[in-house]
């Protein structure tokens, strides 16, 4: 990736770090590690350096070249963000099993892992742990300041005992918050630094999991859980990959918090419900697709059968996240791109059709189902 190349020396391909691999910037603007520039200067001689990219000759000694601290910080953060790897399969530990309370790689899911467990991306739990760690750091700082101030008051005069008592009360309150946050942190023990990636999961990695993966959508109304809809995806279609990414949140957004939009052809053939606008980081809703070149129309058309799941984008990338679920079949009508089939929970979808307004129905959870 671009980040991987940016934090490495263009000669030795090592990641920049303090010491012999610190990045030094030439007058032409190109940067190399100190070790490679030292070799370069030895070859050129006479206090000269030749840029290995331009190449431009510079009459300057190595010790007078500035260190690129911005690039050094970037390389340090890059090293810190690298994922932990599975000791058995060698893949990244990108999944978290809620029941087992441990990290898994893609192959771990199908090698001795109990069936039916709920598996979610580890990145979401990592974000939660980082937030808790940040809160703990702030509270520990407050505790330290409070304790120091309390000791100073204690050694001052007896007349300040009342003030000391007030600070002691604050210590008790803060330490209670620390204990509560520590308990939350214990719930996610074992979740270490996982790379904050935004790249798409490759077709080959998910092909290992299964030819027709199954996902679930949990539906609710005003805080009340209605049940789950289980959908089997047709894995030869990119639109199925796109739907799975939105169920897992691997490309950033997910369907969690998304509302159903409307009912089309209610009570008639080809009746279907539409949904799919996800919540963006700024709190707004969007149906923008997260992958390019999703199938639409032509050879990808399919009959309007009960339980079929299809795209509802009208061929626009701005609506590629939108989908529909057919509740009443029609023998002579079609959808532009079916990509999955409801295997359980179609009765729940039919109940949702009669909720008015249907926008009350929310996707409260979604994810991948291990077989």
By CB neighbour count within 10 A (0-12 exposed, 13-18 middle, 19+ buried), where does 88 fall? exposed
Cβ neighbours of 25 (radius 10 Å) = 15
Residue 53 and residue 319: Cα distance in Å, rounded?
Answer: 44
Per-residue three-class SS string for 256-273: CCCEEEEEECCCCCCCEE
Model pLDDT, residue 81: 66
- Bridge partners (DSSP) of residue 102 are 97
Q: What's the angle, vertex CA 277, arms to CA 276 and CA 283, rounded to 5?
A: 145
243, two tokens: 């739907």
pLDDT digits (tens, 9 = 90+) for 58-78: 998 888 899 999 999 888 887
Model pLDDT, residue 190: 45
Q: What is the dihedral of CA 187, 191, 193, 198, to 10 degrees?
A: -100
Q: What is the dihedral of CA 6, 9, 11, 14, to 10 degrees?
A: -110
Q: CA torsion sign, 291 to 296 to 299 to 305?
A: positive
Q: CA torsion sign, 182 to 185 to 189 to 191?
A: negative
Model pLDDT, residue 202: 46
Model pLDDT, residue 298: 94
Model pLDDT, residue 200: 43
Cis peptide leading into 357, omega within 30 of 0? yes
73, two tokens: 């910080």
Model pLDDT, residue 198: 38
DSSP 133-146: HHHHHHHHHHHHHH
Closest CA to 38 of 30, 26, 49, 46: 49
Model pLDDT, residue 187: 58
Instruction: Flag residues of the chain having pLDDT under 70.
Output: 1, 46, 80-83, 126, 130, 186-211, 371
Integer-rounded Cα radius of gyration of the chain: 28
pLDDT digits (tens, 9 = 90+) for 132-176: 877 888 888 898 888 888 888 877 777 777 777 777 777 888 888
Model pLDDT, residue 371: 61
């Amino acid at each position: 990736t671009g980040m991987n190349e940016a934090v490495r020396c263009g000669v030795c391909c090592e990641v920049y770090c303090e010491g012999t691999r610190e990045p030094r910037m030439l007058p032409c603007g190109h940067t190399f590690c100190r070790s490679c520039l030292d070799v370069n200067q030895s070859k050129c001689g006479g206090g000269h350096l030749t840029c290995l990219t331009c190449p431009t000759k510079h009459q300057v000694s190595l010790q007078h070249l500035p260190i690129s601290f911005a690039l050094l910080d970037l390389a340090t953060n890059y090293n810190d963000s690298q994922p932990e790897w599975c000791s058995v399969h060698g893949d990244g530990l990108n999944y978290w099993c809620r029941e087992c309370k441990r990290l898994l790689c893609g192959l771990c899911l199908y090698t001795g892992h109990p069936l039916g467990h709920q598996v979610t991306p580890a990145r979401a739990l990592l974000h939660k742990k980082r937030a808790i760690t940040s809160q703990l750091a702030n509270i520990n700082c407050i505790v330290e300041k409070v304790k120091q101030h309390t000791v100073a008051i204690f050694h001052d005069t007896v007349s300040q005992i009342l003030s000391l008592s007030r600070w002691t009360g604050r210590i008790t309150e803060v330490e209670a918050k620390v204990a509560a946050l520590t308990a939350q942190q214990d719930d996610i023990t074992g979740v270490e630094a996982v790379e904050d990636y935004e790249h798409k999961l490759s077709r080959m990695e998910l092909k290992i999991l299964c030819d027709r993966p199954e996902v679930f959508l949990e539906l609710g109304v005003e805080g009340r859980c209605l049940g789950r809809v289980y959908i089997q995806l047709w894995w030869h279609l990119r639109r199925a990959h796109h739907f799975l990414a939105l169920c897992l949140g691997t490309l950033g957004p997910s369907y969690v918090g998304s509302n159903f939009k409307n009912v089309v052809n209610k009570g008639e053939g080809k009746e279907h419900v539409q949904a799919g606008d996800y919540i963006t980081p700024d709190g707004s809703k969007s149906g923008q697709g997260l992958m390019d070149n999703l199938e639409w129309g032509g050879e990808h058309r399919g009959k309007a059968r009960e339980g079929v799941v299809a795209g509802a984008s009208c061929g626009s990338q701005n609506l590629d996240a939108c989908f529909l679920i057919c509740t009443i079949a029609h023998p002579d009508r079609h959808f532009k791109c079916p990509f999955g089939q409801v295997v359980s929970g179609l009765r729940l979808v039919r109940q949702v059709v009669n909720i008015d307004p249907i926008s009350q129905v929310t996707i409260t959870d979604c994810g991948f189902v291990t077989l």
